[in-house]
Amino acid sequence: MKRLLLFILPILIIVAIVFSIFGIMQIRFTQEKLMDDLQKKAKAVDESLEFSARLILANNDLKSANRLVESFQKRERLQGCVIYDKEGNILSITERFSDWKIKEKPYLKDILINKTARGALENFKDYSVYSYIIPVIDDENNTLGMVEVIYDTSYVFTTMSDLWRRLSISLITLLVLIVLTMLLIQRRIFILPIINLTEWFQHFQKGETETAHPIKGKDELGKLASEVEQVALSLRIARKVVSEKATERLQKDELWTEAKLRDLIHARLGENALFVVSNREPYMHVIDAITGQPKCIRPASGVVTAIDPIMRACGGTWIGHGSGNADRRFVNSKDKLGVPPGDNRYILKRVWLSKEEEEGYYYGFANEGLWPLCHMTHTRPVFRESDWKMYQKVNQKFADSVLAELPAKDPFAFIQDYHFTLLAKMIKEKRPDVKIALFWHIPWPNPEVFSTCPYQKQILEGMLASDLIGFHVQSHCNNFLETANKLLESRVDTEKFSIVRFGKETFVRPFPISVDGYLNQSSQNLDLAKEIDRIKKEFELEGKIVAIGVDRIDYTKGLLERMLAVDRFIEKNPQYKNKFVFIQLAAPSRTHIKHYHDLMNEIDELVEKKNWKYSEGNWRPIIYLKKHFSPEEIMPYYALADICIVSSLHDGMNLVAKEYVASKTNLNGILILSRFTGAARELIDSVLINPYAIEEFSDAIKSAVEMPLEEKKKRMQNMRKIVSENNVYRWAGSIITELTALKKA
């Protein structure tokens, strides 16, 4: 629009100026001509009046004067005639113009003395008149009096304003015609070809690569179009080559790495990129409260921890909620940006939600409804109809955003978590050809618990539009199959582990999520060693046994139980006073929800109470660091910690447990792990606990503290083997292999 204005405005201004100059000249000319005609007419009439008035004035014949005046007043546009005597007094005047008597006329004396005629425009009452006066002179050159004719000039001004109006209308019509013509020309010459080229390129991007570009001419636009076509062609060839080479490399059976996953994706998805959808975005731009400047953070989220390395390795597009307060500043016109910032390995597309949408969909339905419904922590789920409506609306918003990106052929979408139970169905309604995998990052409850959800049918139907549904562990899969069997009209195939509803088959599989398994590499790094020294100095940790907890502040994480167990451990083993420190890194989470808010206060109070109970000099048993920590900031804590405590009351997997194991290169560390996490199925060499049983939990801390180094190393080695073999690349590789295999079936 701005560009269009820049193009049209100068032309309009020039046309308007030229037209106005000619218009003004035309008006002036017309006005002069009309006045000239008027003057000539007034002069002629006045002269004939003078001739008749000469005898009347010589005889001072008032009666004849009145008759003469009466006979002249009938002339066209003549307002009045006046006959003056030689003193300048009115002898006779047209009756309808009798008010003319009251007007001051200082010029009369001059006319009588100088014996010259006078014509001038005069204002009288509300209008303008033209007065022409000539002296009446006898044969001896004596002034007998004067005669005056007064003409109406309003017709001159009416004619002028008519002319003005006609000229203005012509100017406006001309300008409108110019604008319309310009718009038509520019649409025909520039816009239409660009629209066609853009559409062609969008289709090319989505995989419709067969058609040639639509610009026929060999002009500048034609040249641009063929350049774009060349780039697109090379891109297509490059993708094909990558895909073929990747298939060759995949034949070799080796440990899952970034490179192997990249090969798998290129081999299986071909030219198509991977599309991931999650509520939480992997990179968030927020305003730093201290500096006031925007900064980029990685949110504390299992989804982000697991999927970011995959996307870094394979590229593709991740669609997530742009929830950072500075997010809008960093996206392009399509709400996209390259991430990680500065490295640009994949595309992040941000979807914007209003406060109401976020409140109802995220805080309300997802986190006050589905989250407690799926976690066995004795927290009642809250289901509000208004939240459900918002949840549906936001799922549709994400579906539209995904649909806008999907390639034309063989698209794959990988949906994350309980925020998007309806997404698969909404996508398939428009694009039934899309292959969809949904991964459920939290536990799935048993059918009795799930049946308390008022929207159970819609949720299950929405999920079953997916081709593949993944859970962390087999028992969550079993719960889901049973739920579908009991609550929905469907057939569960226990051989194939699938659910068939109205002819559509959905496969259900366990895919235990993990971390990249190579966190250890960074522990060699010098900065890390420096950071460990700094932390040890700051918290006086030298010579002490350090246990660590890393969590979002969430009631499922068993944070209160953990503090109580630490308290009980010191209470029962006072010899560890001054020797044992528990550091909790706690990221505030979902703080708008009352339950979370109350929990934060409860933990603050408990930490305060327990530290006060044991305070001796500077030593405190619990160091509670309540803030968001980046993965880089967490790393030195993992490295220095002798023990890591994960005490979730219920958890789908828990990646902190796996991150700790992956980071322990020197094997000197032990993991205390809740039996109620998915990770407990794999990390059986951890010290397993029931976080509700505080006595048992505190004893587990003691046995971890006192565990001989050899045993710790052996256990850690076993766990590291499991984590590095079953790393996140394997997790993603298995899901993609399974999904693409379904496609061929």
**Interface with ligand F6P by CB under 6 A: which residues?**
279-280, 301-303, 417, 441-442, 589-590, 652
Q: How far apart are CA 510 and CA 653, in angstroms?
A: 11
Tokens standing for 542?
A: 């030298």
Write down the least CB distance from residue 303 to ligand F6P, Å.
Answer: 3
Closer residue to ligand F6P in complex, CB, 154/591: 591
Write down the least CB distance from residue 656 to ligand F6P, Å.
Answer: 10
Strand runs (DSSP E) across 173-212, as ranges? none
Write down the least CB distance from residue 383 to ligand F6P, Å.
Answer: 18
Does residue 294 sit in helix, strand or coil? strand
- Contact indicator for 501, 294 with CB cutoff of 8 Å: no
Closer residue to ligand F6P in complex, CB, 301/726: 301
- Is the Cα dihedral 456, 459, 465, 468 positive or negative? negative
Which residue's entry shows tokens 């890390």?
A: 528
End-to-end CA distance of the chain: 51
Closer residue to ligand F6P in complex, CB, 80/372: 372
Does residue 225 sit in helix, strand or coil? helix
Q: For the sheet containing 78-85, what is the strand order?
A: 90-93, 78-85, 143-152, 127-137, 118-124
Q: How far apart are CA 576 and CA 583, in angstroms?
A: 15
Write down the least CB distance from residue 689 to ligand F6P, Å.
Answer: 21
Write down the least CB distance from residue 630 to ligand F6P, Å.
Answer: 15
Q: Is 485 exposed, middle or buried (0-12, 13-18, 19+ CB in 10 A)?
A: middle
Tokens standing for 648?
A: 């979730």
Closer residue to ligand F6P in complex, CB, 90/683: 683
Nearest CA to 599 out of 608, 588, 615 is that of 588
Closer residue to ligand F6P in complex, CB, 119/652: 652
Closer residue to ligand F6P in complex, CB, 74/355: 355
Q: Is 253 exposed, middle or buried (0-12, 13-18, 19+ CB in 10 A)?
A: exposed
- The one-letter amino acid code at 728 reads V
Closer residue to ligand F6P in complex, CB, 301/677: 301
Write down the least CB distance from residue 443 to ligand F6P, Å.
Answer: 10
Q: How far apart are CA 166 and CA 619, in angstroms?
A: 94
- Residues paired with 506 in a beta bridge: 499
Write down the least CB distance from residue 304 to ligand F6P, Å.
Answer: 7
- Contact indicator for 579, 615 with CB cutoff of 8 Å: no
The total of other beta-carbon atoms located within 10 Å of residue 83's CB is 27
Closer residue to ligand F6P in complex, CB, 280/715: 280
Write down the least CB distance from residue 278 to ligand F6P, Å.
Answer: 7
Which residue's entry shows tokens 């528990």?
A: 582
Q: Give the max Cα distance, the chain.
A: 152
Residue 382's alpha-carbon distances to 354, 368, 442, 452, in angstroms, are 21, 5, 18, 10
Write down the least CB distance from residue 629 to ligand F6P, Å.
Answer: 14
- Contact indicator for 672, 694 with CB cutoff of 8 Å: no
Name the DSSP letter for residue 274: P
- Contact indicator for 40, 90 with CB cutoff of 8 Å: no
Write down the least CB distance from residue 596 to ligand F6P, Å.
Answer: 10
Give phi and psi for 147, each to the nearest 5: -125, 145
Does residue 203 sit in helix, strand or coil? helix
Closer residue to ligand F6P in complex, CB, 470/652: 652
Write down the least CB distance from residue 455 to ligand F6P, Å.
Answer: 19
Write down the least CB distance from residue 417 to ligand F6P, Å.
Answer: 5
Alpha helices (H) in 281-336, listed in sequence order: 302-314
Write down the least CB distance from residue 298 to ligand F6P, Å.
Answer: 12
Tokens standing for 486?
A: 């009991």
- Residues paired with 277 in a beta bridge: 319, 415
Closer residue to ligand F6P in complex, CB, 143/301: 301
Does residue 258 sit in helix, strand or coil? helix
Strand runs (DSSP E) across 677-742, as ranges? 687-689
Give phi and psi for 578, each to the nearest 5: 70, -5
- Contact indicator for 243, 275 with CB cutoff of 8 Å: no
- The one-letter amino acid code at 301 reads S
Closer residue to ligand F6P in complex, CB, 320/621: 320
Strand runs (DSSP E) across 504-558, as ranges? 504-510, 545-552
Q: How far apart are CA 703 and CA 692, in angstroms?
A: 18
Closer residue to ligand F6P in complex, CB, 262/658: 658
Write down the least CB distance from residue 365 to ligand F6P, Å.
Answer: 13
Total residue length of the chain: 745
Closer residue to ligand F6P in complex, CB, 310/581: 310
Write down the least CB distance from residue 643 to ligand F6P, Å.
Answer: 22
Closer residue to ligand F6P in complex, CB, 280/730: 280
Write down the least CB distance from residue 371 to ligand F6P, Å.
Answer: 8
Write down the least CB distance from residue 499 to ligand F6P, Å.
Answer: 22
Closer residue to ligand F6P in complex, CB, 549/652: 652
- Residues paired with 119 in a beta bridge: 132
- The one-letter amino acid code at 99 reads D
Closer residue to ligand F6P in complex, CB, 656/671: 656
Q: How far apart are CA 18 and CA 16, in angstroms?
A: 6
DSSP 135-155: EEE-TTS-EEEEEEEEEE-HH
Closer residue to ligand F6P in complex, CB, 590/658: 590
